[in-house]
Every structure is written in structure tokens, then in C-alpha cells.
Structure 1
């Protein structure tokens, strides 16, 4: 894959259609949308608006729940999680920009369950990089992407949202 910037609107449209069908199939009428900082929040905001969700959206910063926290230290841009509504017994749509190893999602689930036991969690990601280390899969994904060993992807936003594919910096 060549480095460059991609618009995400068509991926979002696909995700919205799939998510609407999935919610209808599962008979979920009032989901609680929660985005993972930072890119997941931007995607969640777009989904929240497109689904015309009635509930206030929540946000998670999973920095303290990461399994590599003791190795990499605290991210300088840590933000407080904000869950204005209870998670106990709720149908939650958990949103992140990219799923790769599954470790970010594991951390997010750990944090969510500290707030209460949801009825269900539907995982939605913009991109699946298919490099799983944990058995976690997205229920809805805008697409899959195979990166070369020296490439990385970054979501740019919040307005406009775009994906940037670039060469990893040399270490």
C-alpha cells in the first residue's frame, strides 16, 4: 500500500448501514454509544448523530487500563473518561477507530465493567488491521486494511475525518 490520505465518509456510510441492521436484528432500541479516546470518540460522534441517538454519548480514556502501562508510562494527553449515563444493564456500542491487536478493546472492556455490567457490548471500528493478539473481533467494521511492516495508519480529525497511511519513523 502506498502512503497517503484517505477520506473516511464511504467507510462511515457502510458502518452506519451495517450498524442499523445489526441493532434492528438484535432488537436494540436505545444504545449507549461510547467512544474510545481519541479517534474512537470522533467516529462515535458521527455515529451518534447519524443514528439520531437520544442518550448522551460517553467517552473512555483507557490509559490506566493498558497492559503495557508499566512499560510505556502515562500518555501525556490522558483525559478523564466521561460516562454520563449508567452502563449497568445497558446495550452499549463501543467505538474505536482501528482494531489491531485487540489490547485497546480489552482495556476498554475492563474499564466499562468497572462502571457496571452492560447487557451487551457491540464493537464498532472504522478499520480492522487484522493483526490480532487477543480473540476480539469487531461486530461492525468500515473495512480491512493490510499494512506493510513499515507502515502505520492514523486517523486525522475531527473535521474532516481522514485516514493517513505513512511510513513508520526509523528508530
Structure 2
């Protein structure tokens, strides 16, 4: 059951604009930077950040997508023959010695980010890995912290954060659900 909408379309847009500015500021521009979205919603957020960064800086930033299915430590099998469903990763440029900004929708236990870092290291050796998330809900199980956060939303372990984006869900909003 939905308890509350915590971010609407306008709040999401403002949060992503702020994150774009923070990425530019922290990296003193976007030279040697690449955004890599974690499938599924992280990719759409990364693409939106890239558009905002281009509007601000006047030049484009590369965007990649990462499928971490095989790197998860809580891998659940989703097909009848017990093989995980892998959608593939697309990284448009060599990430070696680049500043990689991993992008995801929600930071929770930190396990998704850890899996994404493992996947990145298999692709190349970035000079730095930063993390941008739309929502940080707490409850970390691993020592992982986001560099860029759209909104901190403290939650109980019984609550669920649901991020909806127009690219997938035809609406932009972040909600808290009970149970």
C-alpha cells in the first residue's frame, strides 16, 4: 500500500539538476568522466544527467550501461533452466584512467553498488569510481556511501521505495510503500 509520494516530477528534475552541477564541480569539469547507469533505472537517470551536464557545460559526456546480474551475491535464478537473465553491458569507451560515475535509482544495502564495482573492474581500471543515486534510503550492509544524492529518505526495513520514471513507467515519481 502506498504511504506517500516523496518526489514528484518537478522534485526529481531539481534533484538531477543539482546532482549534475555537483558532478561538474567535484570533477572540475567533465574531462575524463563517464556516467555508467546500473540497469534498469540507473541508465535512464544517467541519460538525464548527461543531458543536464551537456546543457550546463556545452559538451557531451559519455554514458554507458552496466548489467550486474552475474556479479550479485544474492543472485536469484529467473528462468526454468536456472540460468540468470543477463541483458548485457554497453560501455562506449575505455574506462581505464577515467573518472566513472556509477548511477543508480536507490541506494539501500550497498550490495548492488558492490556488484557494479566488481563488474567495472572487469571492464577496465578507472582512476576513480564515484556514486550518484536519486534516493538514499539507509540500511547499509556494506561500507558504501554515495557521492551525490538526490534525496535522503530514511525508511524502516518494512517499507519499500519505488522509483518510477517516464521512460519505463510513464510517470516520474518516487513513493514509499508499506510492506
TM-score (norm 1): 0.86
Distance 1:68 1:149 in 2: 17
Match of 2:22 in 1: 18
Any stretches of 5+ residues in structure 1 without a counterpart? none
Alpha-carbon contact 1:42-1:158 (below 8 Å) kept: no
Alpha-carbon contact 2:17-2:49 (below 8 Å) kept: no
Correspondence for 2:73 among 64, 67, 75: 67
Query: Mapping of 1:23-62 within 5 angstroms?
Result: 23-24=27-28, 28-52=30-54, 54-62=60-68
Alpha-carbon contact 2:43-2:103 (below 8 Å) kept: yes
Note closer, same or farther for the CA distance 1:151–1:43 as it changes in structure 2 (3 Å cut).
same
Match of 1:163 in 2: 174
Alpha-carbon contact 1:30-1:54 (below 8 Å) kept: no
Note closer, same or farther for the CA distance 1:149–1:94 as it changes in structure 2 (3 Å cut).
closer
Deviations 1:136-157 (A, max 9, x none): 1011111211123321011111
What is the total number of aligned residue pairs between the two structures?
Answer: 163
> Is the partner of 2:132 in helix, strand or coil?
strand
Distance 2:17 2:73 in 1: 33
Using the TM superposition, name which of 9-18 and 107-116 deviates more.
9-18
1:133 aligns with 2:141: yes
RMSD over equivalenced CA pairs, Å = 2.0
Note closer, same or farther for the CA distance 1:88–1:106 as it changes in structure 2 (3 Å cut).
same
TM-score (norm 2): 0.82
Distance 1:111 1:150 in 2: 30
Alpha-carbon contact 1:32-1:90 (below 8 Å) kept: yes
